[in-house]
Amino acid sequence: MSQIRTVAIVGGTHGNEVTGIYLLKKWQKDVSPVTRASFSTELVHGNPRAHKYNVRYCDQDLNRQFALKDLNNPHLAGNEQSRAKALNQQLGPKGANPRVDFIIDLHTTTSNMGTTLLIERQHPLYYQLAAYVKQRMPHCIIIRDEDDMAEEDNYLLCTLGRFGVIVEVGPTPQGVLKQQVFEESEQLTLVILDFIEHYNNGTLPALPATVEAYHYVGSLKLPTNDVGERTAMVHSHVDGKDFQPLNPGDPLFAGFDGSVIAYKGEQTVYPAFVNEAAYYDSNGALSLHEKVVLKVEPR
């Protein structure tokens, strides 16, 4: 595998997730924290128009527009569909030989997910990265979902580069800068850059043979009635408790009529994106994950 020569850090893919945008501003003033000897670093504002209006997106969710067939479909001409094509030209083209080798896409969530690294693509490098990150930031959560989608169908921005990951930190309201979220996002980004530098130079430290991670198994929607109105909210037993075990029979939803709706699954799962504001118009309540163990291959 050839080395990583070009890294793009993308902020503001969602226009109201401002932490990444302010990190870019900070690094534009002083690039030294994101500069390493073995690769060049580019700073990319994902969706300036959405940020101008302090919204997640104007027409479509930008981070759902990067499936190859959509990038190649000239009839998709909304704000984010066009922006995706421009980013594909700037960073890609998506496929075997993009210009950018590694994309770090900075996101925040209103959910209490702490500092999370999302691995959405296949390669042994990612598990080495996960192990390296866990060594330096043991509180960092790893989500790996790289087996859920074929690369060409994967609609995430980070798939434009040869490699790509998502940094996801919360909780923070949309449009708000929280110092802790800002600093955690910065630290995880710098640790990823350190990893790439070691990877390029063949100087990776000894890594643990395994890393604990979470794997997406499904999503739950808020209960609704016959006319589509919500009848319940996420129960306080679950809200704010991302990555804590949810057992069969545990309280899951709190009905407006005072009822309690229990989790009816057959095994213990670990919720994430609990009560995320961005998924609210689709009645999305939370995603469910199982614990998995990643096997780290020595480089």
Residues in contact with a second copy, shown as a per-residue x/- string from 27 to 66 under the rule CB under 8 A? --xx-----------------------x------------
Considering only 4-12, 18-26, 82-90, 124-132, which stretch makes contact with a second copy by CB under 8 A?
A: 18-26
CA distance 203 to 180: 30
How far apart, in Å, are the Cα atoms of 218 and each of 112, 155, 188, 190, 287?
A: 18, 18, 26, 31, 6
Q: Identify the DSSP state of 165.
A: E
Considering only 91-99, 119-127, 226-234, 288-296, which stretch makes contact with a second copy by CB under 8 A?
A: 226-234
Tell which one of 3, 35, 72, 180 touches a second copy (CB under 8 A): 180
Contact by Cβ (8 Å): 37, 2 = no
Q: Interface residues for a second copy in 111-170 (CB under 8 A)?
A: none
How far apart, in Å, are the Cα atoms of 258 and each of 129, 275, 286, 297?
A: 46, 19, 21, 51
CA distance 65 to 261: 35
Contact by Cβ (8 Å): 38, 74 = no
Look at phi and psi of residue 157 and say left if phi exceeds 0, alpha if psi is from -120 to 50, else beta.
Answer: alpha
The yes or no reply on residue 179 touching a second copy (CB under 8 A) is yes
Task: Give min distance, CB of 280 to a second copy, in A.
Answer: 5
Task: Give min distance, CB of 242 to a second copy, in A.
Answer: 14
The yes or no reply on residue 174 touching a second copy (CB under 8 A) is yes
Task: Give min distance, CB of 26 to a second copy, in A.
Answer: 5
The yes or no reply on residue 185 touching a second copy (CB under 8 A) is no
Task: Give min distance, CB of 256 to a second copy, in A.
Answer: 5
CA distance 114 to 139: 8
Which runs of consecutive H residues, i.e. helices, occur in the chain?
18-29, 48-52, 68-71, 79-91, 124-136, 179-201
Tell which one of 42, 59, 146, 239 touches a second copy (CB under 8 A): 239
Q: Interface residues for a second copy in 190-219 (CB under 8 A)?
A: none
Tell which one of 64, 262, 277, 284 touches a second copy (CB under 8 A): 277
State whether residue 34 is helix, strand or coil.
helix
The yes or no reply on residue 234 touching a second copy (CB under 8 A) is yes
List residues binding a second copy (CB under 8 A): 22, 25-26, 29-30, 54, 110, 171, 173-180, 182, 229-230, 233-236, 239, 254, 256-257, 275, 277, 280-281
